[in-house]
Amino acid sequence: MKKSRAGITLVAIVSAIAVTTTGADSQARRGASLSDFNETLIEVSKKATPAVVNISATRAPSAEIKGMPFGPDMPFKFKMPPGHPMPRKQAARGSGVIFNDKGYIVTNNHVVKDTRDIKVTLSDKREFPCKIVGSDPATDIAVIKIDSVPKDLPILKIGDSDKMRVGELVIAIGNPFGFSHTVTMGIISATGRQNVGLADYENYIQTDAAINPGNSGGALVNIKGELIGINTAIFSRSGGSLGIGFAIPSAMVKQVVDELVTGGKVVRGWLGVYIQDVTREISESFRYGKESGALVSDIMKGSPAEKSDIKPGDIITKIGDRDIADVGQLRRLVARIRPGTDAKVTVFRDGKLIDMTLGIGTLPDKVDIAAPKKLERADEIGVTVRDLDEELAYRHKITDQSGVVVIKLQPNTPAYNAGIIVGDLVREIERIPVADTKAYRSIMKESQTKKHLLFLIKRAGVNKFVVVSKE
C-alpha cells in the first residue's frame, strides 16, 4: 500500500527529531562519562601522590675515568696527577613509595646503592632523613626508613598485581628529570616480561605511561589508587620515554619488602638444577608434545635435587598446582618456597607424568656479577672469570656443565681486542679442557711465555675458536 506525501513527511520529521534527540542524549552521556572518568583520575592522583617521595642522596665518586675502571676493585693503584682534583661527589636521585605508617619506603636498589645521606621529600615539601633497611639486588628492590616518623604520614595501599589485565588503565607517579611528583597515565601493555636484562628475577609489568629518568622507584597505580608496581626502567634509544616502561609487580614487591623489613635480606628457595627452556626441537626429541616447562640438563653437586628422585632429562611441568611455562617462572616459584619445606613436583619422563616430593634448600649467597670479589682480579689478558654456576648459567643461557664464564673484561686488552665478551664460556685453552677456575689459572700460568693463546669459547650455544695475542 502506498503512503501519502503527508505521511512520508511526518515520518521523516519524527525520525529527524528522534535522531537529534538521540544524538543530544548520546553526547550528554558521553560528556558525563568523560567527566566521571576525569574526576576518577583526579581523585586517584590526589590519593596516591602524597605517598610518593622524592629521594636524593650522595653517591660515591665516579668509578670511571676515560672509560677505565677507577675504584676499590681497580686491579692497580692509581694516584691523581698533581693539580687535578678528585672527582666530585655525585647526587643520586629517584623516587620511592611509603607503604606503611612506620615510615618504611620501597624503592629501587639502584637508586640507593652505594649512597649515604639519604633524604626524602614529600609532596607537601616536608623533608626527612632516611637510612637503608635492606636491599635485594636480585630483584632491584630496596627498603629505606624515615628516622623520625610523623603521625600524619601518607601511605599507599599495596594492591594485587596478579589480578591486573592487559589494557587496564594505570597511573605512574614519580620525579622524572627532577620534576617533583609528576603524574602520567597509560595502560598495562603486557605482563610477565622476562629476559629484559635488568635483574636476576624478572616478571615485569610493561606500560606505556610515560616513565623517564627519576621515575625509578616510583609508583604504578591502578584506578582504585592501589600500588600495583614499582617503576624501574624504560626502553629508550634517546634517554627519554618511548612508551615502553617496566615496573616490578606488587606481588613480588610485597614478598621482598616483607623479608627486608623483618630480616634485612631475602632468603630464597633452591633446588640446585641446571635448567633450560623447552624449545620445539627439544619437545620433539623428548616426545613431549608441548613447548612449556623446564628441562633439567644437570644436577648440582651437594644440592637438594641431588638427594631427590629428579634426573637430567626430566621436564618439570608443575610445582605444586602451578603449571610451569618456562625457566623464569620455575625459578620465581621455587625462590618463593620457604627453605626447609617440601614441594610437590611433577615431571615428564619417558612419556609419563611422575609426581615426586623435593626438599627445598636455601639459595646460596652469591656475589653480584656486576661487582665481583676483590680477589677476582683481571688476569694478564684482561679477563676475570668465575666457575659456572646456576645463576651464571641462567643469566647467559649456558647449558654446559663445566667451564669458566667471563664476568668482567678490561677494555684495550688482549682478550678485548680478540673479540671475547662478558658471558663467554671458556671451554679450552691451547686445546686443553678448562673445567673450572683452578684449571684456568693453571693453564694460563703454564702458558705465560706464549705470545698467542688459542681459546675455545662458547657463545649463544655456538663454539668458536679465538686467538688471543699478547703482543
The CATH number that applies at residue 394 is: 2.30.42.10
Q: Does 240 share its domain with 278?
A: no
Residue 106 lies in a domain: yes
Instruction: At 121, list the grid cell.
Output: 621529600
Q: Is the pLDDT of residue 1 over 70?
A: no
Q: Which domain holds residue 117?
A: 30-59+91-265
Q: Is the pLDDT of residue 462 over 60?
A: yes
In a domain, 370, yes or no: no
pLDDT of 149 strictly over 70:
yes
pLDDT of residue 297: 81
If asked whether residues 256 and 121 sit together in one domain, one would say yes
* Structure letter (DSSP) for residue 267: -
Examine the domain organization and report whether 389 and 337 are in the same domain: no
Q: What does the mean pLDDT of the chain come to?
A: 82
Task: Mark whether 135 and 195 lie in a shared domain.
Answer: yes
pLDDT-above-70 percentage for the chain: 83
**pLDDT at residue 240 in the model:** 65
Confidence of residue 106 (pLDDT cuts 50, 70, 90): very high
Per-residue pLDDT for 60 more than 90? no
Helix (H) or strand (E) holding 129: strand 127-136
Identify the CA nearest to 437 among candidates 382, 388, 378: 388
Residue 67: pLDDT over 70: no
CA 261 to the chain's CA centroid: 20
Q: Are strands 141-146 and 169-174 parallel, antiparallel or unpaired?
A: unpaired
More confident residue, 6 or 455: 455
Last residue of a domain, one of 265, 296, 318: 265
- State yes or no: pLDDT of 66 exceeds 50: no
In terms of domains, do 315 and 424 share one?
no
**All 3 cell numbers of residue 433?**
679442557
Same domain, 345 and 404: no
- From 362, 394, 427, the end of a domain falls on 362
Least confident of 13-22, 94-103, 410-419, 439-448: 13-22
Residue 115 has pLDDT above 50, yes or no: yes
CA-CA distance, 322 to 315, in Å (whole number)?
A: 14
Q: What is the reported pLDDT for 44?
A: 92
Catalytic residue set: 110, 140, 216
Q: Give pLDDT tens digits for 171-195.
A: 999 998 888 899 999 999 999 888 7
Least confident of 27-36, 142-151, 169-178, 220-229: 27-36
Residue 132 sits in the same domain as residue 247 = yes
Q: Name the DSSP class of 158.
A: B
Q: How far apart are CA 29 and CA 323, in angstroms?
A: 45
Of 281, 312, 307, whose CA–CA distance to 296 is shortest?
Answer: 312
pLDDT-wise least confident of 134-138, 276-280, 404-408: 276-280
Task: Report pLDDT for 34.
Answer: 84
Instruction: Give 406's strand partners.
Output: 385
Report the domain count for the chain.
Answer: 3
Report the CATH number that the domain containing residue 107 is assigned in CATH. 2.40.10.120
Please indicate, yes or no, if residue 23 is contained in any of the structural domains.
no
Rounded to 5°, angle at Cα 450 from 445 and 451: 125
Q: Dump pLDDT digits (tens) for 350-371.
A: 999 999 999 999 988 653 333 3
Given a contact cutoff of 8 angstroms between Cβ atoms, the answer to whether 393 and 399 are in contact is yes
Query: Are residues 327 and 260 both part of a single domain?
Result: no
Q: What's the whole-number mean pLDDT along residues 68-74?
A: 28
Local structure of 131: helix, strand or coil: strand
**Do 355 and 310 fall into the same domain?**
yes
Residues 118 and 210 in one domain: yes
Separation in Å, CA 400 to CA 5, 221, 429, 433: 89, 42, 17, 13
3 falls in which pLDDT band (50, 70, 90)?
very low
Q: How would residue 230 be classed by pLDDT, with cut points 50, 70 and 90?
A: very high
Cα 462 off chain centre by: 27
Is 151 in the same domain as 168? yes
Do 190 and 246 sit in the same domain of this protein? yes
Amino acid identity of residue 304, one-letter, is P
